[in-house]
Homo-oligomer: A and B are copies of this chain.
């Protein structure tokens, strides 16, 4: 708990005066005030987050955490769990969606084995940080011990600290783990107070019947494990998963290092919500990448006061939405840094009516 506790002490809300100063500069650029909408919000927030009047975003990284889930034994996913390690190898070879979109956004991808039920040996390119070999089936028992849950979070914090020290200026979150919409729905239900049915969707594409089963499995798992809705670490331990804990750690580490962090979709948002419930000030550092097709996503974003940037019907995960959103956040920063002011351009700023 030492790293988690010292990290929490470093997290402060962003400075409102810096937000206002950044907006003042934006209002002096050759455009009607506010006419670049959310691009202006992105720029303003980047200035305040980094406490830098001219922030840079040239080094960006998406962390794709991989983990397995014992609850797949209950038939909650459309794919067999072997797909998790197969996709990890696909990430390392550069052939997955996140590789393509991160390249497009000028971001690196760091693939982290935090909980895959597979031995990758010493394979190169993978961040070896396994805490568990898959979580336990939370329909039968707790997914992880509380100690394991804390280790997952601290793994994320350590990775965030390392990348911040190396000069990375924007983080994105992502994940791969067959079955991981199931613990994410469980987390959403417990931490937003909605019913399981209100926050549970079809994941990668299960049938209506399987969706009914998935809801039942989550309801029974929550009844059995009784996660404490006032203790986000308890919730993480009871339902999992390891990759969700890792993402929570990235968010906490980002906030402690004053690095903006782009939260991908449904599962990443479950991780961000764990971080938010531990320390609500983390919301100041988050950008919600997109509006996932998963029905529980919106409730979690509302709880944190975040508005998604994109709405493209994405439901792949991996960090794909985060990579795309980085392109738009960076667009906002470029507006702030590269546009001419009214004075420089000799354009009449005065409004006539």
Give A contacts to B, CB under 8 Å: 29-39, 75, 77-80, 82-83, 86-87, 89-90, 93, 95-97, 99-101, 103-104, 204-207, 210, 293, 309-316, 320, 324, 327-328, 330-331, 334-335, 338-340, 344-348, 350-353
Contacts and interface: CB of A to CB of B under 8 A. Distances in A.
Of A80, A210, A312, A335, most buried by chain B (CB within 10 Å of CB) is A312
6 contacts: A32-B78, A37-B293, A90-B345, A100-B334, A205-B351, A310-B328
Contact of A353 (B75, B311, B339): B75
A95 B37 contact: no
A103 B333 CA distance: 13
Given A39-B312, A327-B327, 4 more contacts: A30-B87, A36-B320, A79-B352, A103-B338
A344 B315 CA distance: 22
Given A38-B312, A93-B340, A346-B86, A32 B331 contact: no
B38 A334 contact: no
A353 B95 contact: no
B79 A348 contact: yes
A89 to B, nearest CB: 7
B101 A32 contact: no
Contacts of A78: 32, 351-353
Contacts of A96: 30-31, 339-340, 345
A148 to B, nearest CB: 27
Contacts of A89: 345-346
A348 B86 contact: yes
Copies per complex?
A: 2
6 tightest A-B CB contacts, nearest first:
A37-B313, A95-B340, A32-B204, A38-B312, A35-B316, A90-B345
Contacts of A33: 205
Contacts of A327: 104, 327-328, 331
A31 B100 contact: no
A197 to B, nearest CB: 19
Contacts of A205: 32-35, 351
B79 A316 contact: no
Contacts of A293: 37
Given A335-B101, A352-B79, A353-B75, A314 B345 contact: no
Contacts of A324: 328, 331
Contacts of A340: 90, 93, 95-96
Nearest to A312: B38
Given A315-B32, A347-B87, A101 B331 contact: yes
A33 B206 CA distance: 12
A125 B57 CA distance: 31
